[in-house]
Every structure is written in C-alpha cells, then in structure tokens.
Amino acid sequence: MARQSGIKIVADNRKARHDYRFLETHEAGIELRGTEVKSIRQGRVNLTDSYAQVKRGELWLVGMHISPYEQGNRFNHEPLRERRLLMHKREIMRLYGQTRERGLTLVPTKLYLKNGRVKVELALAQGRRDYDKRDRIRDRDLDRQAAEAVKRRRMDFD
C-alpha cells in the first residue's frame, strides 16, 4: 500500500471515482472496536457500497464491510454495522446542510492509518449520469491511445 509521511492507505473506493464527481474532501476519525482495528490493519475492509449520513446530529458511516478478525472470539464485531464518524459538530452541520439543500452525497473515498489512528476520507460528491460515465471512459481511452502513439513515434526516431 502507498505510504507518505506516516500515512498507510488501507482501502480505496475506486468505484466512487467512477460513479461520482468529488467537490471537496474531509478527514474524519472513526469509532471502532478492537477487533475491527486489527482486521483493518490486515487490510480486510471494503468501502465499495458505503456512504455517510447525518442522524440526530451525528455522522454515521453505513455499508462499510470489515471482515471479522480471524483470531477474534465471541466478542468479534458485526461486519456491516453502522460506525460513528468523528468530526466537529460545526463541520457535521455544514455537510448536512449541503447534502440536504444541494442534493449531494457523502462518500468515503479512502480508509487509512495516520500516526496509528484509523481515518476515513469523505468526499462531498455529486452523482454522475450514465452518459457522463461513458464520456469519461471514452476520453480516458483516447488519452491512452494518444500516449501510446507518442511513445511508438519516439521509439521510431531512436
């Protein structure tokens, strides 16, 4: 996994990059149980269909799957339970206002360890339409083909 100044990325939500357009990102702590942390350190986590929502003034992460810890016992955690995210109340209320007024979604993009603590990166995102997704794929393929053509052309001159 990628490492940069005390940060180890454990999970990346690549599907979200395809399905949403990110407007801004925020970092949040996450309230976990002991076996969840051990399982996350092993990289046994999936962010694919998860999202965050505000309930009763608190921010909750819904749909994140953390596999049960193999050496855990009867106190092992529930894999799909809702987990509370830790942010300042002011930030939570601002995000809540933007999701309500502008119809945006809070999507977790990365789960990482920062100085020994588990953090989640949340993106305030706007859903992409199917035609936007197709256009993006087409543009990416064209860019890739152009880069390959330039590379071949350079090799011809050498």
pLDDT digits (tens, 9 = 90+) for 33-50: 888 888 888 888 988 888
- H or E, element range at 105: strand 105-114
Burial of 138 (0-12, 13-18, 19+ CB in 10 A): exposed
Those residues with Cβ within 8 angstroms of residue 21's Cβ, 6 or more apart along the chain or in another chain:
125, 126, 127, 128, 132
pLDDT band for 112, please (50, 70, 90 cuts). Answer: very high
Phi, psi of 138 (to 5 degrees): -60, -45
State pTM to two decimals: 0.73
Those residues with Cβ within 8 angstroms of residue 155's Cβ, 6 or more apart along the chain or in another chain:
none
Residue 90 has pLDDT above 90, yes or no: yes
Tokens of 111: 């789960």
CA angle 85, 97, 81 (to 5 degrees): 30
Phi, psi of 79 (to 5 degrees): -60, -35
pLDDT value at position 30? 92
